Structure 1
Amino acid sequence: MRLNPQVNNHNILLIFFTALFISTGPVVFGQGTDKFIYGDALPDAPELAVRGEHKVGVRTLDFVNPKQIDILNAKEGIAPLYDRPLKIEVWYPAMLDGNTPEVVVYDQVMGSSNDEKRPLIPFTFKGRAAKDASPLSKDGPFPLVIVSHGYLGSRLLLTYLTENLASKGYIVVAIDHTDSTFKDAGGFQSTLLNRPKDILFTLNKIDELNKPKSGSFLSGLIDMNNSAIIGYSMGGYGVLNVAGAGYSDQLKTFFGTMTGGNTAITSLVSNDPQFVGGKDPRIKAVVAFAPWGMERGVWDLEGLKGLKTPTFFIAGDQDDISGYDKGIKAIYSGSVNADRYLLTYANGRHNVAPNPPPVESLQEGLHIDEYYRYAEPSWDSRRMNNINQHFVTAFIGLHLKAKKDYAKYLNLQENSNGQDWFGFVPRSSTGMELLHTMPAE
């Protein structure tokens, strides 16, 4: 083909990719499939977003936490007890032969069970894991990561991250928080009370299954003393409390108003002698995506002093659910006793954590809020997912696997627009800020 000498480089590239498209069909990204799967690395994904060396298995477990306070059925402040069910998804390094596909189909719903105007609509999506595969015990034990979703949400809301971490040698456990999922949405007082309790119960239950002769596939597979907890929105509300940030007296008053005077949440408040948050030596790192509550008085400076575990916060500076300057950034600033980071997406709202929106499943006339349970108005969710994979890998790798060389991915200039951040493709690290503050002496 003969080119006009006045055609510039931009036009040459345009001609080349047009010819490629015509001759080969649409260009697709993925690992051996004809479709992009959540979590796959885009061409401009930062370095640590790429999947690790391990194949991934996934299993579903059912837990029951006995004799819990049934706060949704409290009357005049008195609540009965019930056995609280929790559905759990576990991703782990797996042994797969060449004939076993590393693909799973997840069942999910959109909508809300407590809102007749937003009926439940089922949909499916693919992931890169093999259902019920045998665990790869020879390379273990592996550090543990527990993931807590938002309100509303599900254990499958962050599969781009859970699968990715499992491929890098982690046991990753995500919780369906009863009364807080799309399928069983209940009164908000249940989420306020049970979110940190569910996380700690799951940590202890996984510890039991890791014991010798437990009969579980997890037996001996986990390094429990190197555990991280990750939470999004109300999950962030939960993991910060488990890690030591006590709730405020204002939340105790609000909770009592909602429940006719019930005081069950008192043990999670910072000034209560029963509060034990932050004293679990197994937890070495925390990741909090858009943690909720500061603007509503859930946190105060005294309670935030209890957070001493290294923490990585991720937020959008236009978050209209958790707030930013008086919300997430204020939590970051107030956590004076923690080694902490804050990654901020410029023009990002609240959905900095989830999988991309299931566009193929969205039906005509469906409420726009179903789309915006997942989507960001100013960011490509797949791009954001890759960035999250990169930074979470660096942060928990540093603290759970003692990968000291990962510090270079975190020791960056604050504003990403000044020069390329280390680990990013040239010219791709724009629109972000990364703050780092060491604990007060």
Structure 2
Amino acid sequence: MKNSYLIITSFLVVLLSSISIIAQDKSFLYGDALPDAPELAPRGAYTIGVRTLNLVHKNQVDVLNSKKGIDPLYDRPLTVEVWYPAALPADTDASVIYNEVMGSSNDSLRPLIPFTFEGRAVRDADPLVSEGAFPLVVVSHGYVGTRYIMSYLTENLASKGYVVVAIDHTDSTFKDAGPFQSTLLNRAIDIPFVIDQIETIEKSSQTNFLSGLVDTQTTAIIGYSMGGYGVLNVAGAGYSDGLTAFFTGMTGGSTAIIKHAASNPAYKAKKDPRIKAVVAFAPWGMERGVWDAEGLKGLKTPTFFVAGSQDDISGYEKGIKAIYTGAIHADRYLLTYKNARHNVAPNPPPSEALAPGLHIDEYYRYAEPSWDERRINNINQHFVTAFLGIHLKQEDYQSYLDLQKDSNEKDWLGFVPRSSTGMELLHALPKP
């Protein structure tokens, strides 16, 4: 017994020392695998490229300037970042610098503070077209957020053979945060528009970098917080009449959101066959009446939910878990990080967020009080790889999802022994 105790103690010392070294080593970047990362978490075989595209969605409702039921129109700009398999040797030293800000526009207590961080990609690299088209993944951030806030996942998926497009949602980023009604309306509009634009660009010219590279007919959509709110609606979970009434009252009488309501026959008849899977991290809205039982019945696309059991933004029992329970027509999973709050999706806090004197929310924009964010990142990479691999690539990953409910009872498949603690995974099959 004494020898067993010494062996276990020695193992823990080595593990903690390794993690400590990694935390101090600048060679460890967002998304890299910790020593106890689960099996599917590490990056894939592809070296990846990254490019920025500036899109414009013309003639959209300018809900921030609606008055007495009259909706002016405007051309809505959207910046997106595209990660993709690149035509580079596997041993290429891939490196890119992402430019970001902390703080929030129009907030005197939290001024915008520029910072940079490094990723493992090559800016404007030639695409790898020799292997045929790769499935598309579209990523939607929270309010407020950025297209880079989940780079640990976007880079990871691209390295495994996906074209990943993350959106900067206008009026909803750190740099341009505007009134909430724009986010309420535009999430479910921006996401399908971006899918359409990627498809149009891919078909428009054989000289475009997306030509022959992306298969938009095999698409997944991933959303975090307000992004989760958006992807669920795009996938069929129609908004409640309660939300549409609230929205109309807060926007000077605009009824634009009715197009996305479950009670709207045109919405109920619309389904995008390109979307094969949904991942919803901490989706917002259930506790605020965004969905009712009828609306959730419309979600029929396979969906993987991720939540913290102590989420105080989206709610858990009456929030995210209630969405999971109510989506009775979807094949769905719910991964719960016990004692985690809302930040179950973003990158770890940047080093700049540790500076003395900053508002605590700059740190808690990213951090979890009871979890190492890098650990959450690795677990997310593992499960999203399995889930998308099954539904977009027909890969044999089902055994990684066929797990007992409580991770504390037995080591989960794919996890380092003794490392799968503090989680729960639920699975429900769709009702006829």
Q: Could you state the TM-score of these two structures normalised by the residue count of structure 2? A: 0.95
Partner of 1:415: 406
How do 1:87-166 and structure 2 match up within 5 A?
87-97=79-89, 101-166=93-158
What CA distance in whole angstroms lies between the structure 1 residues aligned with 2:411 and 2:100? 38
CA contact (8 A) 1:245 1:304 kept: yes
Paired residue secondary structure (2:427): strand
The one of 397, 419, 429 equivalent to 1:428 is 419
Partner of 2:71: 79
What CA distance in whole angstroms lies between the structure 1 residues aligned with 2:90 and 2:266? 53
What CA distance in whole angstroms lies between the structure 1 residues aligned with 2:222 and 2:237? 15
CA contact (8 A) 1:246 1:277 kept: no
Paired residue secondary structure (1:47): coil
How do 1:180-199 and structure 2 match up within 5 A?
180-199=172-191
1:300 pairs with 2:292:
yes
Deviations 1:387-424 (A, max 9, x none): 00000000010000001x20000000000000000000
What CA distance in whole angstroms lies between the structure 2 residues aligned with 1:299 and 1:154? 25
CA contact (8 A) 1:29 1:40 kept: no
The one of 265, 272, 282 equivalent to 1:273 is 265
**The 10-residue stretch of structure 1 (59-68 or 221-230) with the greater mean CA deviation from structure 2:** 221-230
Give identity over the alignment, percent: 67
Q: Which amino acid aligns with 2:398?
A: A
What CA distance in whole angstroms lies between the structure 2 residues aligned with 1:181 and 1:330? 28
Larger Rg over CA atoms: 1
What CA distance in whole angstroms lies between the structure 2 residues aligned with 1:98 and 1:265? 46
Deviations 1:167-217 (A, max 9, x none): 000000000000000000001000000001000100000011111626421
Q: Which amino acid aligns with 1:425?
A: V
The one of 314, 322, 325 equivalent to 1:322 is 314
How do 1:5-404 and structure 2 match up within 5 A?
8-9=6-7, 27-28=21-22, 34-97=26-89, 101-211=93-203, 213=205, 215-275=207-267, 279-403=271-395
What CA distance in whole angstroms lies between the structure 1 residues aligned with 2:133 and 2:109? 47
Shift of 1:101: 3.1
What CA distance in whole angstroms lies between the structure 2 residues aligned with 1:414 and 1:278? 35
> Which structure 1 residue ranges, 5 or more long, are not aligned?
none
What CA distance in whole angstroms lies between the structure 1 residues aligned with 2:270 and 2:131? 30
What CA distance in whole angstroms lies between the structure 2 residues aligned with 1:17 and 1:306? 46
Shift of 1:29: 7.5
Q: Which amino acid aligns with 1:437?
A: A
What CA distance in whole angstroms lies between the structure 2 residues aligned with 1:107 and 1:385? 21
Q: Could you state the TM-score of these two structures normalised by the residue count of structure 1? A: 0.93
Paired residue secondary structure (1:275): helix
Paired residue secondary structure (2:278): strand
CA contact (8 A) 1:243 1:278 kept: no
The alignment of Structure 1 onto Structure 2 pairs a total of residues equal to 429
Shift of 1:110: 0.7
Paired residue secondary structure (2:143): coil
Shift of 1:274: 2.5
Deviations 1:358-403 (A, max 9, x none): 1344321111011111000000000000000000000010000001
What CA distance in whole angstroms lies between the structure 2 residues aligned with 1:149 and 1:287? 12
Structure 1 pair 364–113 and aligned structure 2 pair: CA distance change class (3 A): same
What CA distance in whole angstroms lies between the structure 1 residues aligned with 2:8 and 2:177? 51
Shift of 1:328: 0.2
What CA distance in whole angstroms lies between the structure 2 residues aligned with 1:408 and 1:290? 24
Shift of 1:261: 1.1
CA contact (8 A) 1:241 1:277 kept: no
Q: Which amino acid aligns with 1:411?
A: D
